[in-house]
Chain A
């Protein structure tokens, strides 16, 4: 067993909107191991990005963490002081955002932006930090880093910008790296390069990578473990090869069936009929009931709990009934 990088337990996030309060993330738990990749998989609006933002502490003001814990090296990120949290941001935990164009400051030279982690956490001089930044740019494969350090983000291509963003995130060799849809905005060949870069850096820095994505092929190729999210909850989790080989939750099955066998990277998840429930009107029972081919009476009244079986877990009445060893604990 590898070292644990981060352990999230029962994370719950509420959104306070003009129309009322809704639960966007509902009791999500997972563990990320160092040197390995955990994928959070789901459609847009399933709460996977909200989970990432809650973990790094960058939720919008209308969102509020109302329960759970996020543990890195014995420290709970949700209870430490703001100052301590800032100290951990970078060396312990880091994030790569989806859209590198907006995630890089448009009016600051990239060399300065990349030097910032060293300036903040290692109190380096501007000159020393710049040297580190240039080294970092070389490390992620930016050609001619000495001269490019004085360029602005808009002077780089999309793939190069994503490399810069990743470089900035791994500058201080964090224990945990969250990658929030890191390749969605890129074209297919560049996607592969960026994923390869992430995999290389993960090994070199022995980071726990949490990969947030809606792309099954990315999960299949890059992740060790997968957690499938639906309507703010994890509905199935386990080693990627096992889950993809033998999906137990009808939603996971639907996702896998929606992709043709020789699917291209980036294929859409649109072929399950229906759409996820509106967060304002989640029905009692299982949130997937309206789209589920196996729906039973119990699904309409009681919410299935996540039942663990060996390395795997699934939250489905039908799966529990059809012979898994686990016992269903209806909520």
Chain B
């Protein structure tokens, strides 16, 4: 049995790589994210010892000079550690929080959401009520309480951030699946006695997936910002671990004399989140058959705006 989405894909066969190459902004964004991912995996090895063992002779070294090796291109901190090296190590920490949070909340939120939307009734009401309650409170407020009670560690940060983000996926998945469950092809599957789990997996999940991926790309920014806020406030990642937000906080006292210690790690956050936002708005257009023409028609008539979807 083929779902409408399958036939549609087959009919138009969008070439995503070609569309990405045709859009310089989205292409650059994708490259940046690939580099960030690469550093997140291999950064620690690449950076070498300069990231952890300072050379006091290079303490407070100003940036933008390669006299002391490429690791010191962005200058050195108080202990003479290379800022670039530390940034690379911090990438790993930041990503090892953000990626699991997005994955966990995506999987849980999407599963519960599709289940609730497919069955409707009390299951839907219950899931939505809980989501409303979680969303009606500032995420930081919850994180603050939880991280006080269970001392901050990477695991507890991941747990609390995932809890606050689950409702976002839950709502999206529920809305789409509630709409789909009334469609003819789902009805047909049901008449044949297909179990509900299989219907959700085979017919609903593939159609909801593009939307969920767009939401996840945007949410990735949110989670990164939340993690860095917590770390900046001193209730997130704890030394000797290091994350971008923590580096901004640590460099703050030297703002008057060594501005780069605080400003550059923040710039790393901005570059990554801007890239993710640009890519997300591209994904949204590319996966929507009704909007795709905007990416393939010549620039002159194009009215595309790279505006991220925000939630309060």
Is chain B in direct contact with chain A in the complex (CB below 8 A)?
A: yes
Residue ranges of A at the interface with B (Cβ–Cβ < 8 Å): 18
Chain B residues with CB under 8 A of A18: 293, 297, 301
3 A-B contact pairs sorted by A residue (CB < 8 Å): A18-B293, A18-B297, A18-B301
A18 to chain B: closest residue by CB: B293
Q: In the bound complex, what is the Cα–Cα distance between A18 and B293 (angstroms)?
A: 8
Chain A residues with CB under 8 A of B297: 18
CB distance from A66 to the nearest CB of B (A): 18
Chain A residues with CB under 8 A of B293: 18
CB distance from A139 to the nearest CB of B (A): 46
Interface string of B291-312 (1 = CB under 8 A from A): 0010001000100000000000
CB distance from A300 to the nearest CB of B (A): 32
Chain A residues with CB under 8 A of B301: 18
A16 to chain B: closest residue by CB: B301
Residue ranges of B at the interface with A (Cβ–Cβ < 8 Å): 293, 297, 301
CB distance from A283 to the nearest CB of B (A): 26
Q: In the bound complex, what is the Cα–Cα distance between A58 and B58 (angstroms)?
A: 70
CB distance from B292 to the nearest CB of A (A): 11
CB distance from A313 to the nearest CB of B (A): 39
CB distance from B24 to the nearest CB of A (A): 22
B297 to chain A: closest residue by CB: A18
Q: In the bound complex, what is the Cα–Cα distance between A18 and B301 (angstroms)?
A: 8
CB distance from B155 to the nearest CB of A (A): 50
Q: In the bound complex, what is the Cα–Cα distance between A18 and B294 (angstroms)?
A: 9
Q: In the bound complex, what is the Cα–Cα distance between A192 and B297 (angstroms)?
A: 50
State the 3 A-B residue pairs at the shortest beta-carbon distance, nearest first: A18-B293, A18-B297, A18-B301
Q: In the bound complex, what is the Cα–Cα distance between A18 and B296 (angstroms)?
A: 11
B293 to chain A: closest residue by CB: A18
Q: In the bound complex, what is the Cα–Cα distance between A18 and B297 (angstroms)?
A: 9
B303 to chain A: closest residue by CB: A18
A19 to chain B: closest residue by CB: B293
CB distance from B309 to the nearest CB of A (A): 22
Q: In the bound complex, what is the Cα–Cα distance between A112 and B180 (angstroms)?
A: 44
CB distance from B193 to the nearest CB of A (A): 40
CB distance from B93 to the nearest CB of A (A): 46
CB distance from B104 to the nearest CB of A (A): 40
Q: In the bound complex, what is the Cα–Cα distance between A48 and B199 (angstroms)?
A: 47
CB distance from B12 to the nearest CB of A (A): 15
CB distance from A228 to the nearest CB of B (A): 35
CB distance from B300 to the nearest CB of A (A): 12
CB distance from B299 to the nearest CB of A (A): 14
CB distance from A74 to the nearest CB of B (A): 39
B294 to chain A: closest residue by CB: A18
Q: In the bound complex, what is the Cα–Cα distance between A23 and B293 (angstroms)?
A: 22
Q: In the bound complex, what is the Cα–Cα distance between A204 and B66 (angstroms)?
A: 90
Q: In the bound complex, what is the Cα–Cα distance between A290 and B296 (angstroms)?
A: 34
Q: In the bound complex, what is the Cα–Cα distance between A177 and B100 (angstroms)?
A: 65
Q: In the bound complex, what is the Cα–Cα distance between A18 and B291 (angstroms)?
A: 10
CB distance from B301 to the nearest CB of A (A): 8
B301 to chain A: closest residue by CB: A18
Q: In the bound complex, what is the Cα–Cα distance between A174 and B39 (angstroms)?
A: 72
Q: In the bound complex, what is the Cα–Cα distance between A18 and B289 (angstroms)?
A: 14
CB distance from B125 to the nearest CB of A (A): 29
